[in-house]
Structure 1
Amino acid sequence: MASINPGRMTHRWNGELVVFHIGMTVNRWWRFDQWMPLMGDMPRMLRELSADPASGLLGSTMLLGARGPYLVQYWSSLDKLYTYASAPSQAHRPAWTRFNARARKVAGAVGVWHETFVVDRAESIYVSTPTMGLPKATEIAPVASRHDRARARAADGRTRADRAAE
């Protein structure tokens, strides 16, 4: 069991931050042949990314929604995310090609989706939890007394342009 961080924690990160949500919707649960292969593709991609610190993937968390699993990923740059997604020698492109071929044969059995957020500011707080989410992907830090409130933590999460001007 992961150790619990006592007290109030937040994250610390300077630089570009991209939050990427990706998931699948299982529309026909009985079509295992359509959605199970997708379940095997994502762990391969995560292993590949984790083995390469230069990939830009800072961390990820797998979640389960009402229609299927989804992943929250933290990236150090939008360019690195797009580079990985389009690289023919990486696991993503072949997986995407396989998904499209299956989707043409059994339309609507399974869906995929993603959302990409380039974050100028990020505020976080974790009270009596294991290291998770943004602090796990970046750096965990105790909440200082001057950052006791969410508004103060968000104000300290200045934009990249503000930090560059300092």
Structure 2
Amino acid sequence: MERGRFTAGMEGSFVVFIFGIRVNRLRAVGRWLPVLRALRGVLRELRGHRGRGFFGAETFFYWRGVAVVQYWRSREDLERFARDPEDVHLPAWRQFNREVRKSRVVGVWHEAYAVEDGRYEAVYANMPPFGLARATGRVPAVGGGKGARRRTRGGEEG
């Protein structure tokens, strides 16, 4: 861990994709555990996509579920991964729809946000590389990067 304040070294527009799984019936372990295992396989596959628009991800556990925040270069790169039959995601999604969807044991959700160049806030104080900064590189939060208003408006005041 390095002391100090940092921000993400991201340049250009990007996409934040948040995906989650919610276990609706805790006792039905045999039905939701395969979904979690499939998610682990998708995450493993994503690590190999850094050259195809995927920057990185963070995984979070919450009551009854798991969420993954992913950072992508573009929506097109994200969709290409999601729809490619050669990648692990599409077969896992199809299997989920066949086996689990009808039982309602597990719920899934996702959100996607397109972020324009310079229109994001990222501050990390006394932290190891994390989140967007771990995915794209971190830089000291100095000069124009010190104020939230400047970071999110590309240096504009107001």
TM-score higher than 0.5: yes
Match of 1:119 among 115, 121, 134: 115
Structure-2 separation of matches of 1:156 and 1:104: 44
Q: What amino acid is aligned across from residue 79 of structure 1 in structure 2?
A: E
* CA deviations over 1:70-121 (Å, ceiling 9, x no partner): 1000011110100111111110111011111122552x11101100000111
Q: Give the structure-2-normalised TM-score.
A: 0.90
Q: Take 1:140 and 1:48, find their aligned partners in 2: how far apart are those partners?
A: 24
Q: 1: CA distance between counterparts of 2:100 and 2:49? A: 30
Cα distance between partner residues in 2 of 1:83 and 1:126: 31
Matched, 1:83 2:80: yes
Q: Which runs of 5+ in 1 are unaligned?
A: 159-166
1:55 is matched with: 52
Measured after TM superposition, the shift of residue 44 of structure 1 is 1.5
Give the equivalent residue in structure 2 for 1:128.
126
Question: Who is 1:71 aligned against?
Answer: 68
Aligned length: 154
Q: Is the 8 A contact 2:58 2:131 kept in 1?
A: yes
8 Å Cα contact 1:60-1:137 kept in structure 2: yes
Residue 84 of structure 1 aligns to which amino acid in structure 2?
A: F
Q: Percent identity?
A: 37
- Could you tell me which residue of structure 2 aligns to residue 164 of structure 1? none
**What is the SS of the residue equivalent to 1:151?**
helix
| CA–CA separation in structure 2 for the residues paired with 1:104 and 1:53 | 30
Distance in 2 separating the partners of 1:125 and 1:157: 16
**Aligned 1:2-17 pairs, distance under 5 A:** 4-17=1-14
Counterpart of 1:139 (choices 125, 137, 140) is 137
With 45-54 and 88-97 compared, the bigger mean Cα shift is at 45-54
Contact 1:26 1:110 in 2 (8 A): yes
Equivalent residue number for residue 36 of structure 1: 33
Question: 1:14-29 residue pairs with structure 2 within 5 A?
Answer: 14-29=11-26
Amino acid in structure 2 at the alignment position of 1:85: A
| Runs of 4+ more than 4 Å apart | none
Post-superposition Cα deviations, 1:31-54, rounded to whole Å, max 9, x if no partner, equal 112211111112212222212332
* Unpaired segments ≥5 residues, structure 2: none
Q: CA RMSD for the aligned pairs?
A: 1.6
